[in-house]
Amino acid sequence: MRVFFIIPVMLALAMTAALAQTPEPTSPPQQAPAAEAAIHAYGDRDKACLAWTDKCRTCERGDDDTIHCSNIGIACQPAEISCSRRKEPAK
C-alpha cells in the first residue's frame, strides 16, 4: 500500500525539480528601430524619389504621398538604401 503513495510523491518531486531547471522564456530580439525608421524616412529626405530599396525591402510613394513598404525577407541582409525610380523632370 505504501508503494502507491510513494510513487506519486516521487513523480511530483521530479516534476518540481525539472520545472525549476527550465529557463524562463525570453522575448525575441527586436530589430533596431533606427534601421526601420531609415527605410521609411528615406522618402522624406529625397522628395524626388518615388521608389527606393535596401535590397531586402522596397518602398514606394503613393499618389497621396503615403509611403508603402514591403516586408523584409527571411535571412536578408539590408544594404545601403538607394533610389530606384525618380520623378520625371517637367518639360
**Cβ(39)–Cβ(54) under 8 Å?**
yes
pTM of the predicted protein model: 0.57
Predicted pLDDT of residue 22: 58
The vertex-73 CA angle with 43 and 58, nearest 5°, equals 20
The model's confidence at residue 87, banded by pLDDT at 50, 70 and 90, is: confident
For the chain, domain boundaries: 33-86
pLDDT digits (tens, 9 = 90+) for 27-86: 655 555 555 668 888 988 888 999 999 999 999 998 888 999 999 888 899 899 999 999
Predicted pLDDT of residue 51: 95
**Cβ(52)–Cβ(70) under 8 Å?**
no
Of residues 58 and 12, more confidence is placed in 58
Predicted pLDDT of residue 85: 93
**Which residues contact residue 49 at a Cβ distance below 8 angstroms, ignoring those fewer than 6 apart?**
42, 43, 61, 83, 85, 86, 87
